[in-house]
Structure 1
Amino acid sequence: MPPKCKFQEGEKVLCFHGPLIYEAKCLKSSITKEKQIKYFIHYAGWNKNWDEWVPESRVLKYNEANVQRQREVQRAHSTQQSAQKNKKGNTTTKAQGRRSEGGREKDTDSRASTPVSTADKSISRFNKSTNSTVTASSSHESTSEPTRKKRSRLEPSSETEEYLTKVEVKIKLPEELKFVLIDESEVILKHHKLPALPVQNTVDKILDDYVEMKSSGKTNDIRESTLEITKGIREYFNITLGLQLLYKWERPQFIQITNDNPDTLPSQLYGAFHLLRLFVRLGGMLSYTPLDERSIQLLLSHFHDFLQYLQKNNAELFNLQQDYTDPPPDYHRKYG
């Protein structure tokens, strides 16, 4: 029996494109040989040259809740962009330093058999793909004019159709960490606890500690590659937390704390439990990146190493009594 389409032809919808959500219209639908539903989308106010086929996971119902999500995505993206701009000066200085080495760097890049140079290129592409792929496994939007002007920079390449049909990348969680997520879900869904924000070991602290651990006594190349990997993980986390990583019970708390602290990133508030949830979703996100198989395998090896680090420090990082607390009395009344 063929799958049933959630959206009708001519229906007004919201659609992910890059890291943002846009108002759109569903022009037609199609079911692939693999019985996957796709929709041919027209973005409101845009030339038909932007029309494209997208998987159902990128399309959202046009309703008040999803419009609110669209605003949250825009806010998270703007905050992330501001943070990146603040670091731009340091990054530019480093890049100029590398360019000053001229021929020597070109020499290194030309040796494809050099593991470090190959890994660095893959990691760099992973980071660059963050903005164009945190999307396909979610749904939200933005209709402001300033955002639209930037859209050409977020537009995927002509390989869109190719990467939309890639097989999902599987990130295998250690068995011990799977039980961590099961225990956490019971605390939230059965006992109605909330994260004690900010937690003691935030995502930022965990990633920084991991970099220090990996860099201790190692070469600068190792430190740089680890920094790049953790930078990508941090960016994916900050953009996806409010979209895909929260239980319904947690969402009002997230909305309130981000409204009260608009300049504070999720990675400065949440900790290991929510970071682990990211790795459940991350494989699906990577399926929409234009990375080749070799690059994916290199990234998976880095993720596996990081997950082993989380498992090794399980007792310290995953503390339900420390990281979860009872909500305020009126929280139950409003959102229970």
Structure 2
Amino acid sequence: MDEELPLKRPFKQHESVLVYDGPILYEANVLQVLCDEGTNETRHYLVHFIGWNRCYDDVVPESALLPRTPANMALAERLYEKLGQKRAADDDVGVVARNEDVDSSSHTASTASVSKDEKEISHCRGLETVLLQVDESDPLRWFELPELLKRTVLDDFEFVSEGEQLYELPSRVSVSTILHAWARHRGRLQKADAEVAQKRAFADSLQGYFDAALGRMLLYENEQAQYRRLIASQGNKAASELYGGEHLLRLLVKLPWFLEHASVTERELQELSLLFQDLCRFMLRNGRKYFRVEDDHALETTGG
């Protein structure tokens, strides 16, 4: 076993630590110790990731922290090398595809296939053309959601629109948190500053699109009243700080529409599609943490 167990003690404010984010350990400082008064619940910590902007600060459980010891620093390096090797192996097919001439057959092979008998989506208010009716030769096809995320979109529709239920807001894990976690996670694997900057820029752009589009394009009718109440009571926060994973998926579904109206070249679309696909894989791996659509405790009826 190549992991050192964390010390069984609370961490202190200003302490230097290592923090698990997925399979990787990041260097961080403890900004604040968070725990419910009068309880023995697991402590949480507000941490700042060293070398990252303050907007990437995050609240993590005590189980995600390790003391910053030589042994744990060595563990961090081993995990980084191990994941880098896995990523290189996973990307072999993608590298070959990127080095080939751009044509419809190669890009069709790099995206998930679309099932002709996918469960009832014709009633999903505009999602049909994005989820199914995409021209094989259209570069926007590269922005196709994986099948499991499509099912989450459909489950979200059934819960909110057909089931007349609302998510508890603000979300426990916000759109902003998800995007920044992805950018931080992917950036840890990149050695080139330009690639790291590209991922951060993509995350920032998606967050900007989300803030601008949520109230006008991403809500079902029965969510509008909740949205108005939330914005009125949380006026100092952006929508991306209040809404969660299901609403981010709604934006990703509509991303081809946004790109169709943007001035981008086919080569730029290809580069963006690689970031899009990587973000989708990250969300799939963290689905239990990011999606609440099947969590009854996260739902409230629209009548409330």
In the other structure, the counterpart of 2:216 is 243
Deviation at 1:192, TM superposition (A): 1.6
In the other structure, the counterpart of 2:153 is 181
1:325 to 2:299 alignment: yes
Deviation at 1:256, TM superposition (A): 1.4
1:193 to 2:165 alignment: yes
Gap regions ≥5 residues in structure 1 = 1-86, 88-114, 116-137, 139-166, 332-336
Question: d(CA) in 2 for partners of 1:169 and 1:283?
Answer: 6
Question: d(CA) in 1 for partners of 2:208 and 2:245?
Answer: 15
Task: Report if the CA contact (8 A) 2:283-2:290 is conserved.
Answer: yes
In the other structure, the counterpart of 2:101 is none
Deviation at 1:232, TM superposition (A): 0.5
**Kindly tell me: are residues 325 and 245 of structure 1, through their superposed partners in 2, closer, same or farther at Cα, counting changes over 3 Å?**
same
Q: Deviations over 1:46-102 (max 9, x none)?
A: xxxxxxxxxxxxxxxxxxxxxxxxxxxxxxxxxxxxxxxxx9xxxxxxxxxxxxxxx
In the other structure, the counterpart of 2:181 is 209
- Give the partner amino acid of 2:276: F
- Give the partner amino acid of 2:222: W
Q: Which moved more, 1:270-279 or 1:221-230?
A: 221-230
Deviation at 1:217, TM superposition (A): 4.4
In the other structure, the counterpart of 1:298 is 271
- Give the partner amino acid of 1:303: F
**Kindly tell me: are residues 223 and 168 of structure 1, through their superposed partners in 2, closer, same or farther at Cα, counting changes over 3 Å?**
closer
In the other structure, the counterpart of 2:251 is 278
- Give the partner amino acid of 1:169: L
Question: d(CA) in 1 for partners of 2:199 and 2:296?
Answer: 28
Task: Report if the CA contact (8 A) 1:168-1:286 is conserved.
Answer: no
Task: Give RMSD over aligned pairs.
Answer: 2.3
Deviation at 1:322, TM superposition (A): 6.3
In the other structure, the counterpart of 2:199 is 226
- Give the partner amino acid of 1:315: R
Q: Whose helix proportion is higher, 1 or 2?
A: 1
- Give the partner amino acid of 1:228: A
Q: Deviations over 1:99-123 (max 9, x none)?
A: xxxxxxxxxxxxxxxx9xxxxxxxx
Question: d(CA) in 1 for partners of 2:264 and 2:194?
Answer: 22
Deviation at 1:255, TM superposition (A): 1.1
In the other structure, the counterpart of 1:100 is none
Deviation at 1:222, TM superposition (A): 2.7
Task: Report if the CA contact (8 A) 1:168-1:283 is conserved.
Answer: no
Deviation at 1:323, TM superposition (A): 7.4
Deviation at 1:168, TM superposition (A): 8.1
1:269 to 2:229 alignment: no
In the other structure, the counterpart of 2:262 is 289
**Kindly tell me: are residues 234 and 322 of structure 1, through their superposed partners in 2, closer, same or farther at Cα, counting changes over 3 Å?**
farther
- Give the partner amino acid of 1:294: R
Question: d(CA) in 1 for partners of 2:279 and 2:300?
Answer: 31
Question: d(CA) in 1 for partners of 2:208 and 2:263?
Answer: 18
Task: Report if the CA contact (8 A) 2:174-2:241 is conserved.
Answer: yes
Q: Deviations over 1:187-215 (max 9, x none)?
A: 11232211211111101110111112112
Deviation at 1:221, TM superposition (A): 2.8
Question: d(CA) in 2 for partners of 1:211 and 1:295?
Answer: 19
Question: d(CA) in 1 for partners of 2:206 and 2:256?
Answer: 12
**Kindly tell me: are residues 168 and 241 of structure 1, through their superposed partners in 2, closer, same or farther at Cα, counting changes over 3 Å?**
farther
**Kindly tell me: are residues 306 and 328 of structure 1, through their superposed partners in 2, closer, same or farther at Cα, counting changes over 3 Å?**
closer
1:253 to 2:235 alignment: no
In the other structure, the counterpart of 1:169 is 140
Count of residue pairs the alignment pairs up: 167
Greater relative contact order (Cα 8 A, min sep 6): structure 1 or 2? 1
Gap regions ≥5 residues in structure 2 = 1-54, 56-97, 99-125, 127-137
Task: Report if the CA contact (8 A) 2:159-2:165 is conserved.
Answer: yes
Task: Report if the CA contact (8 A) 1:202-1:269 is conserved.
Answer: yes
- Give the partner amino acid of 1:192: E
Question: d(CA) in 2 for partners of 1:318 and 1:246?
Answer: 16
Question: d(CA) in 1 for partners of 2:173 and 2:286?
Answer: 12
> Paired residue for 1:315, among 280, 284, 288?
288
Question: d(CA) in 2 for partners of 1:287 and 1:272?
Answer: 24
In the other structure, the counterpart of 2:133 is none
